[in-house]
Structure 1
Amino acid sequence: MKIGISTYALRWEWEFVDKIENPLDIYGLLYRVKELGAEAFQICDYPPIEEMSTGELQAFKEKAKELGIELELGTQGVYPDHLLKYLKIANALEVKVLRTMVHDKVHQPSIAQAEEWLKKILPSFELSGVKIALETYEPVKTSDLVSIVKSINSSYIGICLDPGNSISELEFPDAVIENTAPYVTNCHLKDFVFKRREGSIGFNLLGAPVGDGQLNLDFLLETLKKEGKTVNGIIELWLPFTESAEKTAQLQTEWIQKSIANMKKKLSSFSAVEK
């Protein structure tokens, strides 16, 4: 498993432009990924990518190759025209995985409609060799997501496993892992902890560095291994705002560094057991 970083994990260096003095552009983010020691960069829910020309995308691709960083792409929704637009971007970047979600801000199709739309664009993705990874998340039950993938029955339509996203639908992370593992083509590593609120009334679901929370990494890695899945693990963060944008960005760096260190240690122990 290659360890990667998503733009979602670097939000305090580019997204909140009203709070950040010098937000990074896409090249700055790429250099940060390299600097932090990751092997892959998932450009996910990053609107500026849509404004880049084919030549600009190809130049960026070459820089990523020079730095030894594998690129992945991410968006939201399964509306055919939108996915085909992102397929063009994927082709220019020579990306082989496109993470998306069933819903976007405009379209919330039924499961049947989502399946119909995906079947419509599937030949284009198969021809380009780009796999679609539908992310597990709360608006769509995991069982419905699996039913879409099983019904279409193509190696080019799989699942982006993010075990924490479905907790609000009362789906246990380990169950999400187990139920989706045969179809996983991408994996988000985003850790979390439950903490009781002050006054002992209710709980909060909070983020944590990967390996420091309640995500069962051993079970995740073991289950993917049993299914023969060799996918990238992309770090995302549920990072709390901390006093100021500068302090939050600093905490973001610390969490990513801790997450990568924890993952390298975990993967190393798995390799040692195999030997």
Structure 2
Amino acid sequence: MIGTGTYAYFWRMSDQVDQPISLDDALRDTAAHDLHLFQICDHDPLTTATDQRLDEILKLATDLGIELEVGTKGTDEDQLHRHLQIATRLEAKLVRSMWTAGDDRPDAAETERRLRAVLPAYEKAGVTLALETYEQVPTAALIEVIEKIDSPSLGIVLDPANTVANLELPDDVTRRCAPYVRNWHVKDFDFTRSPGWVGFHYSGVPIGTGRLDYDGIRELIEPDRRRINQIIEFWLPWQGDPAATVRTEETWTNDTITYLRSKQHD
């Protein structure tokens, strides 16, 4: 299933624009695009939301015909248990997280211990915990921990754009992660020369114009057959002023939805 998430509305929900939209507004906008999936990822108010607020979010999503996923960072046991509670309340079947969070950078043994401590609760609830690929943890280390634990409720959120900063090639990351992928963050990316031709700038670009091998990834992970959801997100640079940035984010959203839908019928 194709969906959006908070990272597709990064600027529109930011206090750096004149009239930031709310989570509820983002859900309504997603429904207006005739999409039925939204990932609430790294959204601080969700962590401290009351049961009443979570029930309100679920009711709105249900009324709009939207399924929810949630996301956090790190492997702190309390944090992961809290987000399992949130996921259960929101009837979400996936929690995205990351190996590290800020200064909390456990080694492989500690990460394995933490995951083993929380996974029985995830398994009982029927919720998948999926750790995202990114530059702070080598992909080989992430896969090794997942293989050692070997739980049906533990997998990977594939985002090959992140790992380039660790000098890992997106194609290699996708190939190695493919058996364990449970969720896919879809964004395009590319390098441009920095001003003066000294160095490079690595950033998001409009879908289909950069180095994202969308067709190759689809062939490897088979999202339709394996029911791997595709979550639209962006690395959209600030466009000089709030209005221009919001307009560009809206355009990227529209264009990405059109692009992904066109690929469903190839």
TM-score, normalised relative to structure 1: 0.93
Identity %: 37
Shift of 1:227: 10
Change (3 A) 1:153 1:228: farther
Shift of 1:116: 0.5
C-alpha distance in 2 between matches for 1:76 and 1:179: 22
Shift of 1:21: 2.5
Residue of structure 2 aligned with 1:244, choices 241, 244, 259: 241
Structure 2 gaps of 5+ residues are none
Shift of 1:97: 0.4
Change (3 A) 1:228 1:267: closer
Q: Partner of 2:203: helix, strand, or coil? A: strand
Counterpart position of 1:112: 109
Are 1:73 and 1:98, in contact at CA under 8 Å, matched by a contact in 2? Answer: yes
C-alpha distance in 1 between matches for 2:36 and 2:251: 18
Are 1:9 and 1:237, in contact at CA under 8 Å, matched by a contact in 2? Answer: yes
- Point out the more displaced range, 248-257 or 198-207: 198-207
Counterpart position of 1:136: 133
Matched, 1:12 2:14: no
Counterpart position of 1:90: 87
Alignment of 1:211-230 (within 5 A): 211-225=208-222, 228-230=225-227
Counterpart position of 1:150: 147
Counterpart position of 2:61: 64
C-alpha distance in 1 between matches for 2:47 and 2:56: 15
Are 1:182 and 1:227, in contact at CA under 8 Å, matched by a contact in 2? Answer: no
Alignment of 1:253-272 (within 5 A): 253-269=250-266
Matched, 1:22 2:19: yes
Q: How many pairs align?
A: 266
Counterpart position of 1:273: none
C-alpha distance in 1 between matches for 2:23 and 2:80: 21
Structure 1 gaps of 5+ residues are 270-275
Q: Partner of 1:77: helix, strand, or coil? A: coil
Are 1:130 and 1:156, in contact at CA under 8 Å, matched by a contact in 2? Answer: yes
Shift of 1:13: 1.5
Q: Partner of 2:147: helix, strand, or coil? A: helix
Shift of 1:38: 2.6
C-alpha distance in 2 between matches for 1:27 and 1:199: 44
TM-score, normalised relative to structure 2: 0.96
Counterpart position of 1:231: 228
Segments of 4+ in structure 1 off by > 4 A? none
Counterpart position of 2:35: 38
